[in-house]
Structure 1
Amino acid sequence: MRTFEFDIPAQDLNTALQAFAAQAPAHLRLVYDERSLAGKRASALRGAHNPRVALMRLLEGSGLTIVSARQGVITIGDPATAGEALPAADPGAPDGHSRASGMAPMASGPVGEEGSALPPIRVTARPLSELTENSDSYTPARVGVGAKTAQSLREIPRSISVLTRQQLEDQGIHSLNEALEQLPGVTIEPNGQWSAESWYSRGFEITNILVDGSMVREKDSMDSSVNAALAMYDSVQLLRGPDSLFSGNGEPSGSINLVRKRPLHAFQAKATLAAGSWDNYRGEFDISSPLTASGNVRGRVVASYNDTQKFWDNADRHNHMVYGVLDIDLTHDTTLTLGASRDRKSGSGRDSAPPGLPRYSNGDPLPLSRSQGSPAYDYRNSEAENYFARLEHAFSAQWKLKAGVSRTESSSDIRFAHYNGAVTPGTTTGTQMMVRAGNSTSRSDSVDVNVGGSFGWLGREHSLVFGADYLHTENDNNRGPQMFANGAGFVPIDWATFDPDHPPVLGPWRAQNIQRYETDRKGVYGYGKFQIHGPLKFVLGGRYSSYESRNYGGVSEILNQKQDGDDTFTPYYALVYDFDRQWTAYLTMAKSIEDQSHYYTASYQPLSEVSGTSWELGMKGELLEGMLNTNLTLYQARRKHLAVKLFDDPNFDDDGLDCCYAGDGKFLSRGVEIDVSGELTPNLQINAGYTYDDNKTDYGANDGNRYASYTPKHTLRLWAAYRLDGAASGWRIGGGVKAQSEVFRSGTVRTWNAARGDFSGPAVAYDFVSPGRAVYNAFAQYRINPSWSLALNVNNVFDKYYFRSVNSTAGNNIYGEPRSFMLTLRGTL
């Protein structure tokens, strides 16, 4: 059986067991009654041991033993009273162990010496933290998004999906965009021009990005660095619906929370080498170690490099990421974390999607290859640096202080060709090519301080979190047309002869729009869960916040003004009912607000904020001692005061801002979300999710029409991995599907002109449709020895040919990725 390094000094048994849980595999969870440990000591334990043997050595002479190891949870108790249930779980138990659970007894037997023929046991319980590394699980023990304190998915009355470290590795997911594509209900819409990809959930755009539960930056439309490398992160969490309680400004779509990897208590070094389709080569190195003899200072460094071509022509990427973090135990109760990261991407062509293509003027797609690319002089470079510090202090087992500061500096440098113009049927002409260039810089500074814990009052258990946060963002954008050598701003394209490798020669770049804007978010928040009676709890929360934006520059010189948002209180309510320790029902109401000061009225005044109300009714299950989580959610979101276009003002030409609007828009979204994640059997892990979203316009001439038609009504995301038994026990196989219903955008096409014999007739309304599809992926992994494994991933197994995004006859119709392969060697050094 596999061994692990332990370094536990002689001390009281309770502290020794906590140290054991921290140094053992991350999926280990111990269950015991603290009262049974009173006055008991443990001898020192050092060196490489099998976890079960190590645990029994710590228990020697205490009168306690392993009384249960069912469903992966190891329960410690007195063998004489093993049949008695332990007390209910203590919500204040520190991360790393649980102090309670009612467990069925297990017949005890001899422990044996290391290397002897013990019956194999599978240690699958996990520490009560957000970290999923080494858990072999597709579901987390705890999440921090939506609550600020680590809680189980069942305890948070919101719809949440998680991609654990194990699933990210099994699927070969290395970037944030790739991760979001696997989350049910999320649509990634490539942008054919300036913007990075847009992310949507419940029909609304996701713009809030959290790291370790705190806001660190806003998603800027021109900043492609948000497509972060994931080697430095443990897991990806998605909170659906509004997060105004902890994020403030934002649509009722959701918030993305990235959980950083942390230093481990024992030495660990991992390496990854991979090679795949389109000359895709990747390497990762991850090392963690105690840096002092006592282990009170621990460090970790993660580095990754990726060099790849793309499936479309004239596109390559060179991505470098390095991350370093220190955990310093200032005292037994206080830990300081310091860290920094740098994520750099460079190369020609677009980052994660090919260029958008036009269609024939009658709506038919052009007979162009999926590999049709951009001119060779296209490029998109980005860089993001982050520096952070975090202090955690435990006042007691129930109360904890968290304080964090962060600075993110990012930049993007872009030049791209844009194909625009429908092609006349029967010809290959009608399209023009324009080239645009620009650069942007951004800086975000954030502070988040909160205190959370639990307490008893009137014979009932309650919990509280209260805190304050601040986010300051500065963005500088500089963009404009890239002229051609002949002085023209565009050139005609004949698709029969156009060669992207030898495009028209460029002239000078003309900086047309130079814009700077700043935003300040600040707020105080509180969240309480109060036990009303027995299994019924009432959740009450609220945020008092302010939002301020400042816009400078722009050619029109109309702006140069400051917009102070009104101080706003956004409430949050929920009723929670625990049927038992496995099933919980909830009803939640949350308000949302969103700044839209980049839209201007006819009198050049920024619009006031959008407001919204969201409801969720759900049922959550926590089965198999937390190894399997389920969720069923019904939701409805209403928004009002959205910007509605009135007319264009030729005197208002500030890129990134827009005129002229009225705040009359109303929209409605309702739907269903179903999630199942974790262990179905000891050998089978699964993460499956289905979403149904019906969104529509709720005002004016388009009342009842679907407003986010580019997002599907139905989505299904499924991924599963199965470990074979017996002689084939070294193999894991798996696969999944990404399926969705049709998406469309409305526009116009030209009709047949019988008199002329061509498509020059009147324009008529037309829906550009990408039919529903299912794209299948698969993998197989072979464990060469206890330290090394080799895996093969195949994406789009049946080479499905489809448009991932549709737009109009003029352009922005984007192909999906063809079949690809990736061979990955992973090892522990």
Structure 2
Amino acid sequence: MPHVRPRPAAHLRQAIRLAAFGLSLASVPGALLLPAQAMAQGLAAYHVPAGPLGNAITQFGVQAGVTVSFDTAQARNLNSPGLDGSYSVDEGLLRLLAGSGLQAQRQGNGGYVLVPAANGAAMELGPLNIEGSRLDATSEGTQSYAARAVTIGKGVHTLKETPQAVTVMTRKMLDDQNLNTLEQVLDKTPGITVYDSPMGGKYFYSRGFNLDGQYQYDGVPLDVGGNYVQANSFSSDMAFYDRVEILKGAAGMMKGSGSSAGGVNFVRKRGQDKARTSVTLSAGSWDNYRGQVDVGGPLNESGSVRGRAVATLQDRQYFYDNAKRQDQVLYGALDWDMTPDTTVGVGLAYEDVDASPCYHGLPRYADGSDLKLSRSTCLGASWNDLQSQRITGFADLKQRLNDDWTLNFASVYTHNNQNIEYGYAEGAVPVGASTASMGRYAGRFDYDQTDYGFDTYVDGKFRAFGLEHELIVGANASHQKTHDYFALMALSGTQNPFDPSSSFPHPSKDEFLLNPTRGGAVPTDSTTRQFGTYANLRLKLAEPLTLVLGTRVSWYRNESDSYTQRWDYWVRNRSQENGQVTPFAAVLYDLNEQWTAYASYADIFQPQSNLVNAQGQALQPKTGASYELGIKGELFDGGLNTAFNLFRTTEEHRAETDYVGTCKGSGDQYCYTDNGKVRAQGFEAEVSGSPVERLQLLAGYTYTQTKYLSTIEATDPTELTFSSSFIPRHMLKVWGDYQLGGALERWTVGAGVSSQSDNYRRQGDLRIEQAGYTLWSGRVQYRLDEHWSLALNGNNLLDKKYYATIGATGWGNYYGEPRNFMLTLRGDF
């Protein structure tokens, strides 16, 4: 019975309509006429690992978008050398079939059939026009958890060439685990800790430090998530992203101002050179329904204009009461090869969220012990409401100057408007009580934020002293403006956590303005501008030895005006940093073709001049230094990436709250010192890709030890930019997906485990703990035919009851999800 590979080349059935958008950018030095080399002479990039011939041909068919038919008996016991580079379809098949005694015969419908080579002889390769040296970081179509390359550090480099810890969540990983939100992606990323905010959203920690808005879009750094109303997370669906690149450790070279946690780069899907359509329908626990259509392909006969359109709708409820959410996502993109050396790309995304959230978490007994409430408990109001709209525009250019040099430009604009109002309960429960009277409160937020920025750089290779070197020189800038109104107020009545009611008084907007406990009638307006120039030089000192030297010079401005109604005074903060230098240095030593050892040093700074000390003086910037020593492997022709590193990060001059005096220069009326010093150190081990035939694996273990080296006695227990307690010392995250062989080749089974040691939160003399726990997940997929597959995913299969986040005695404790399932039908054409 012939085995036919899907994805026939068909004409695009639906045109993509894009609204024009304008990007207000800070001045860009020089005229930019650029972006990358267009696909010429019918070439496309392929990455097919060496291995069984049948698997190789199958993967090639997916990546090429062609039908390759063959009898499974033809390929039995035959191996292929694999394929890595840019080829035409005919050239790719020639190489994959080399030495097999088979050849690909083109059919009238554009597909191919494998037949014995003439006279049964092995096929000979003729002259080929190949661009195998040009890396392609795109993860779509590779069907792999192994990233071929990354772009988070500027330029395109393999993980082995990147002297810092980087995890890439590829498109296949996102699809296999149904990772559809930023929170879900980072929760499954090795080394990342997710912590719930009582006011909605999540905080993300890497190596003990808060990510604090260290986000990039196609390499453009923005401040999204830094001063966000909902912690570090924001409404961002993964439907229109190709992959997510997560760097762990100081990322000062990429952005300038920031923390020591790292950075996250979202790389969007692009227009496709072959016509493809994907349809996904999902249904799961707690009425969780999701549908998605993804269409792409050439829009003209030559394929010089390519398009992409994605539409997603999700409607869901939660395992806790009185909460639901609906997400709508629309995305369109165009890529146009203006010349063989110049490509321009534009994209537009719209995201809409309509939700009834449940915020603030659950309380505990006054001694910190667990109330053992039902996991479905929500102590909020029935009228809770969240409305969020985000529009994001992308524009980029890539220009190949010659065989060695390229000029790159990318820009992003994003605007988010949120309106939130909710009721919540707060208060510790007397020890041993079976009933309690918690106070009831309400919050209202009207939040408007606009971010835009650009990044441009020249990347090239040159020869000196008989060796090849690389130089990157560039600049980037970002601008953020926020208009943030919020107010919290007390409500009448009480809430009993053992018998909760969602019937709360619903205050009007005017009532929030009369006597707020926090916030008030006057919004906070803030503007942040950053600009920086950077350079990165990779010097080949000898064939196995590379020295990397980099530096960034940054300029930072922030203006913030807020009125504190409770204390009746204005806070006007003006902070700036000029010419702040952030260095980077690394050395890489190639032990052999597969293994590279490295050592690196990275710096950060973060302004704190919006805070004042007891003398009324603005605090100096926080500074940090990260050291990393490791080894990376690229095995099986790039099919498997491995990494192990030791790290140590120290931050100095950290702001800490001094509760002794009062300072009206600070919004909370407290004074601050900048004498804090902290350290995080440990090691990480990670593998991603295919260690054995038919298995895709992502596994990571992280050991993190955090410590305050210098602190005042009255350290704020709710300070969230560094955590010596929220972060588990041991953390293991593993996910594997295995395609069965033989008569069961239509079946794929997956399994995963997330395990961590205990963590805790300190509240005065109390230590509120969550014991270590382990969660198991699984997946079963059946390929119905050449186009359709059906998969069932299950999470927390043993139904472990645990707290994903430990809060205080009166609030902020969040249960993790109970056992749940999702059934997904997927069609690819």
Task: Please classify the TM superposition score into its range, dividing by the shorter chain length.
Answer: 0.7 to 0.9
Correspondence for 1:167 among 161, 173, 179: 173
- SS of 1:255's equivalent? strand
Within 5 A, what are the aligned runs for 1:226-245? 226-245=234-253
- Deviation for aligned residue 1:681: 1.7
Q: Which residue of 2 aligns with 1:743?
A: 759
Question: Does 2:114 align with 1:107?
Answer: no
Aligned match of 2:691: 680
Counterpart AA for 1:111: Q
- Distance in 1, matches of 2:734 and 2:116, equals 36
Structure 2 counterpart of 1:520, from 500, 510, 529: 529
For the residue of structure 1 that corresponds to 2:306, the secondary structure is strand
- 361-370 or 617-626, which deviates more: 361-370
Listed as ranges, the gaps of 5+ residues in structure 2 are 11-36, 51-63, 71-77, 106-111, 118-122, 124-131, 514-519
Report the counterpart of residue 176 of structure 1 in structure 2: 182
Superposition pairs of residues 54-133 of structure 1, within 5 angstroms: 70=80, 72-73=82-83, 107-111=99-103, 113=105, 114-116=112-114, 128-133=135-140
Percent of aligned positions that are identical: 31
Q: State the SS of the aligned residue for 2:659.
A: coil
Aligned partner (choices 571, 584, 592) of residue 604 of structure 2: 592
- C-alpha displacement of 1:615: 0.4
Aligned-pair distance for 1:505?
4.5
Say if 2:426 is the partner of 1:420. yes
DSSP 3-state at the match of 1:245: helix
Distance 1:824 1:816, change over 3 A: same
Contact preservation (8 Å) 2:662, 2:671: no
**In structure 1, what is the equivalent of residue 682 of structure 2?**
671
Three-state SS of the structure 2 residue aligned to 1:660 is strand
Choose which of 464, 467, 479 in structure 2 pairs with 1:472.
479
**Residue equivalent to 2:208:** 203
Rounded to whole Å, the distance in 1 between the matches of 2:65 and 2:651 is 58
Equivalence for 2:709? 698
Q: Would the aligned equivalents of 2:610 and 2:666 in 1 still touch at CA under 8 Å?
A: no
1:109, 1:584 → 2: CA distance? 37
Which residue of structure 1 aligns with residue 5 of structure 2?
A: 2
Q: 2 CA distance for matches of 1:173 and 1:363?
A: 34
Change (3 A) 1:649 1:389: farther
Residue in structure 2 matched with residue 80 of structure 1 by the alignment: none
Which of 594, 602, 611 is the equivalent residue of 2:623? Answer: 611
Alignment counterpart, residue 493 of structure 1, candidates 475, 492, 495: 495
* Deviation at residue 127 of structure 1 after TM alignment: 8.1
Letter in 2 for 1:668: R
Cα shift at 1:429: 1.4
Question: Is 1:346 matched up with 2:354?
Answer: yes
User: Please, which moves more after superposition, 359-368 or 167-176?
Assistant: 359-368
- CA-CA distance at 1:514 after TM superposition: 1.7
The residue number in structure 2 matching 1:286 is 294
**Amino acid paired to 2:401:** F
Separation (CA, whole Å) in 2 of partners of 1:464 and 1:599: 39
Q: For residues 811 and 561 of structure 1, what CA distance do their matches in structure 2 show? A: 31
Cα shift readout 1:75-117 (whole Å, capped 9, x = no counterpart):
xxxxxxxxxxxxxxxxxx88999x99xx999524131534456
Alpha-carbon spacing, 1:104–1:285, altered in 2? closer, same or farther (3 Å) = closer
Give 1:230 shift.
Answer: 0.1
> Contact 2:281–2:291 at 8 Å: present in 1 too?
yes
Give the superposition deviation at 1:579.
1.1
Separation of aligned partners in 1, 2:177 and 2:88 = 28
State the partner residue of 1:622. 634
Partner of 1:445: 452
* Correspondence 1:661 to 2:661: no
Letter in 2 for 1:72: G
Structure 1 residues 420, 18: CA separation in 2 closer, same or farther (over 3 Å shift)?
Answer: same
Post-superposition offset of 1:221: 2.8
Distance 1:560 1:692 in 2: 42
The residue number in structure 1 matching 2:60 is none
CA contact (8 A) 1:184 1:689 kept: yes
Q: Does structure 1 retain, via aligned residues, the 8 Å contact 2:550–2:585?
A: yes
- Match of 1:273? 281
Counterparts in 2 of 1:49 and 1:254: CA distance versus 1, 3 Å? closer
Q: What is the deviation of 1:151?
A: 1.0
Q: Give the drift of 1:699.
A: 1.1
CA distance in 2, matches of 1:27, 1:692: 33
Aligned to 1:580: 592
For 2:88 and 2:486, how far apart are their aligned partners in 1? 50
1:564 partner amino acid: Q
For 1:183-222, list aligned pairs within 5 A: 183-193=189-199, 196-206=201-211, 207-219=213-225, 220-222=227-229
Cα RMSD of the aligned pairs, angstroms, is 3.0
Distance 1:282 1:682 in 2: 32
For residue 659 of structure 2, what is the aligned residue in structure 1?
A: 647
Deviation at 1:601, TM superposition (A): 2.3
Give the superposition deviation at 1:649: 6.2
Per-residue displacement from partner, 1:21-45 (whole Å, max 9, x unpaired)?
Answer: 52x8x64599xxxxxxxxxxxxxxx
Find the aligned partners of 2:756 and 2:228 in 1 and give their Cα distance: 26
Output the CA distance in 2 between the equivalents of 1:96 and 1:227: 40
Give the Cα separation in 2 of the matches to 1:320 and 1:823. Answer: 20
* Counterpart Cα distance in 2 of 1:677 and 1:473: 36
Query: 1:4/1:712 Cα in 2 relative to 1: closer, same or farther (>3 Å)?
Result: same
Amino acid at match of 2:353: K
2:788 — aligned with what? 788
Structure 1, gaps ≥5 residues long: 8-14, 31-46, 54-67, 75-92, 749-764
Q: How far apart, in 1, do the equivalents of 2:753 and 2:372 lie?
A: 28
Instruction: Show the counterpart of 2:341.
Output: 333
**Residues 254 and 51 of structure 1: is their aligned pair in 2 closer, same or farther, counting only changes over 3 Å?**
farther
Is the partner of 1:154 in helix, strand or coil? Answer: helix
d(CA) in 2 for partners of 1:506, 1:19: 66
* SS of residue paired to 1:136: coil
Greater RCO, 1 or 2 (C-alpha within 8 Å, sep 6+): 2
1:565 shift after superposition: 1.7
Amino acid at match of 2:544: P
- Distance (Å, rounded) in 2 between the aligned partners of 1:181 and 1:736: 13
TM-score of the aligned structures, taking structure 2 as reference length: 0.84
Q: Distance in 2 between matches of 1:598 and 1:731?
A: 58
Q: Name the CA distance, whole Å, in 1 between partners of 2:38 and 2:6.
A: 18
* Secondary structure at 1:178 match in 2: helix
* C-alpha distance in 2 between matches for 1:606 and 1:707: 24
- In 2, Cα distance between equivalents of 1:327 and 1:540: 34
Range 792-801 or range 643-652, more displaced? 643-652
| Distance in structure 1 (CA, Å) of the matches to 2:689 and 2:82 | 13
Equivalent position of 1:138 in the other structure:
145
Distance 2:87 2:261 in 1: 30
- The 2-side partners of 1:246 and 1:550 are apart by 23
Partner of 1:503: 504
Distance change (3 Å), C-alpha of 1:700 and 1:610: closer
C-alpha displacement of 1:652: 4.1
What does residue 716 of structure 1 align with? Answer: 732
Instruction: Establish whether residue 726 from structure 1 lines up as the match of residue 742 from structure 2.
Output: yes
Q: 1:416 to 1:243 in 2, by over 3 A?
A: same
CA distance in 2, matches of 1:95, 1:227: 39
Between the aligned partners of 2:813 and 2:280, the Cα distance in structure 1 is: 36
Query: Is 803-812 or 468-477 further displaced after alignment?
Result: 803-812
- Displacement, 1:554? 1.6
C-alpha change, 1:126 and 1:807, in structure 2 (3 Å) is farther
In the TM superposition, 1:36-51 aligns within 5 A as 49-50=66-67
Q: Secondary structure at the match of 2:608?
A: coil
- Point out the more displaced range, 558-567 or 271-280: 558-567
Distance in 1 separating the partners of 2:377 and 2:133 = 48
Tell me the alpha carbon deviations over residues 30-71 of structure 1, each in whole angstroms, 9 at most, x when there is no partner.
9xxxxxxxxxxxxxxxx9854699xxxxxxxxxxxxxx9745
**Structure-2 separation of matches of 1:623 and 1:605:** 55
Q: Distance in 1 between matches of 2:281 and 2:399?
A: 39
Residue identity opposite 2:322 in structure 1: N
User: 1:509: Cα distance to partner?
Assistant: 2.4
Taking a change above 3 Å as real, the CA distance of residues 644 and 651 of structure 1, as seen in their structure-2 partners, is closer
Please tell me the residue identity of whatever aligns with 1:176. L
Contact 1:412/1:441, CA 8 A, preserved across alignment: yes
How many angstroms apart in 1 are the aligned matches of 2:39 and 2:620? 55
